[in-house]
A and B are shown apart, each in its own frame.
Chain A
């Protein structure tokens, strides 16, 4: 079974007061995060931690070798779910907004390196714009041995019509769907255009000189522990390609 961690921020009053950004509070953050948490726990998975609002630190994702503490948090669990405001920089690195000055206000995926302790397999970020398609290769560095990054290539909507997304992702994961499918289907209400994307790395045989053998890809094969097969980790030296799978409306 899986160990998972949840982090979610609804209020951004500290970031606004410090003039970091004018970003508004979110509305149904905890319906989604609590929903995922409840579904996974009821299926027998272990919650390692659940941090909310000002208890969510940027260093939880930042690599321990770069001043962060990921090996005790994001990289210490199989599945890490985070919800906050997001974006990306010009190089395609994901950026996440935090509401505490305890660490940095804004995290940047250029300092993430997940899976090298053989722990993290999947990161799910319910945040806007963290994986923009034109610069998506900017995420490559995060795949130390992690399997799939689940994010958004444009907006992710917050409101009463997307409040069940966490429960839907959780139900899908524990019903035997692949992780990629669980994300795409779970965060889509087919009313708002939620722009889900899943990103993974593949070996040379999967890349196949550009004629991608999708059936070999982690996107096609990985399931949550206990609900189907999980591909072996792929070390950076074996990574020949970056693959992404997105939904557009």
Chain B
């Protein structure tokens, strides 16, 4: 395959849901003070208790550690507040294979349960200024086994997870799910994650959005570099999609703005292995966020030959 074919695939995907706007707001995000972070966490724990009967904060059980605060709740549950982003998580402490769903629970029933719970938990309240949360994807966790003779058990459904995407001014905030609700088979809330960052109601500026072709070219340049060659080997591409949206850098990272980006998901099939990349590029002429292709380096350790082998 040559680069033009892959570019066409990305482009098809990138414009599949309609062409990106010619301009988009660069949205300023609120930089939360310690007091505001604490208030956000209290609101989260209070909401869980009021709306879902989740365990109470026993008081005095807040433990601040590197970059986050863990709030130990009764019954082994915990809530976690991430200082850099204000993201929140609730974890019930249920064992993973406890309380399975009734055999034969259909997907429609799971979706209904998740939507009802999302309403009850008032997920929409976390969508922020000019924002909304839309259901995006259903995940399921199942278990199965086999004996030595090859007899297999039926699959058991243990968890249903609903992933939600934040939209700001109609533009999706891409990255980890903006919210995720995980239910056990008896309807208990097993985990809840809220990753939406609060905006401060202001726009830094309205920026021109580069064409999807230009976004695809940036993604392809990254891909060529990763593959160590200008041409992508024939028949390597398994799938490629590209979305336009805002990019959230992750719950452990501070971020001052939501800025337009193109995010591609590319799956390659090589001779021996498959691989799946998420690659992102700014969708504006002026970059508002650093989106490095490579992350951290390996720690400096001794060379293998320097170590005596036993």
Residues of A whose CB lies within 8 Å of any CB of B are 8, 10, 13, 16, 20-31, 33-34, 37, 42, 50-55, 57, 69, 72, 85-87, 95, 97, 102, 106, 128-129, 137, 155-164, 167, 171, 175-178, 180-181, 184-185, 188-193, 202, 207, 210-212, 214-215, 217, 219-221, 239-249
The contact size tier of chain B is 35 or more
B91 engages A177 (CB within 8 Å): yes
Residues of B whose CB lies within 8 Å of any CB of A are 65-66, 68, 70, 76, 78, 80, 91, 93, 95-98, 100, 137-148, 150-154, 156, 158-159, 161, 163, 174-177, 180, 191, 193, 223, 226-228, 233, 236, 247, 249-252, 263, 265, 267-268, 270-280, 291, 293-299, 301, 303-304, 309-310
Min CB–CB distance A171 → chain B (angstroms):
8
Cα of A155 to Cα of B145 in the assembled complex, Å = 22
Q: Given the complex, which residues of A lie within 8 Å of B265, measured CB to CB? A: 157, 192
A29 engages B143 (CB within 8 Å): no
Q: Given the complex, which residues of A lie within 8 Å of B153, measured CB to CB? A: 210-212
Cα of A217 to Cα of B97 in the assembled complex, Å = 8
Closest B-chain residue to A25, C-beta based? B226
Q: Given the complex, which residues of B lie within 8 Å of A24, measured CB to CB? A: 223, 226-228, 268, 275, 277
A contact face: mostly helix, strand, loop, or mixed: mixed
B96 engages A42 (CB within 8 Å): no
Cα of A161 to Cα of B177 in the assembled complex, Å = 10
Q: Given the complex, which residues of A lie within 8 Å of B95, measured CB to CB? A: 178, 181, 215, 220-221
Q: Given the complex, which residues of B lie within 8 Å of A55, measured CB to CB? A: 301, 303-304
Closest B-chain residue to A228, C-beta based? B76
Cα of A210 to Cα of B193 in the assembled complex, Å = 35
Cα of A72 to Cα of B304 in the assembled complex, Å = 13
Closest B-chain residue to A86, C-beta based? B273
A161 engages B250 (CB within 8 Å): yes
B301 engages A50 (CB within 8 Å): yes
B276 engages A157 (CB within 8 Å): yes
A22 engages B227 (CB within 8 Å): yes
B97 engages A219 (CB within 8 Å): yes
Cα of A20 to Cα of B278 in the assembled complex, Å = 24
Q: Given the complex, which residues of B lie within 8 Å of A21, measured CB to CB? A: 270-273
Cα of A181 to Cα of B158 in the assembled complex, Å = 12
Cα of A128 to Cα of B275 in the assembled complex, Å = 7
B177 engages A191 (CB within 8 Å): yes
Q: Given the complex, which residues of A lie within 8 Å of B68, measured CB to CB? A: 171
A29 engages B148 (CB within 8 Å): no
Cα of A246 to Cα of B144 in the assembled complex, Å = 9
A191 engages B175 (CB within 8 Å): yes
A160 engages B280 (CB within 8 Å): yes
Min CB–CB distance B215 → chain A (angstroms):
15
Q: Given the complex, which residues of A lie within 8 Å of B236, measured CB to CB? A: 22
Min CB–CB distance A21 → chain B (angstroms):
4
Cα of A161 to Cα of B261 in the assembled complex, Å = 13
Contact of A178 among B96, B268, B298 (CB under 8 A): B96
Cα of A45 to Cα of B180 in the assembled complex, Å = 30
B291 engages A160 (CB within 8 Å): yes
Closest B-chain residue to A249, C-beta based? B139
B301 engages A51 (CB within 8 Å): yes
Closest B-chain residue to A27, C-beta based? B294
Cα of A188 to Cα of B236 in the assembled complex, Å = 26
Q: Check A184/B296 contact, CB under 8 A, given A16-B228, A27-B277, A162-B278.
A: no
Cα of A74 to Cα of B96 in the assembled complex, Å = 26
Cα of A44 to Cα of B137 in the assembled complex, Å = 37
A156 engages B276 (CB within 8 Å): yes
Q: Given the complex, which residues of B lie within 8 Å of A69, measured CB to CB? A: 309
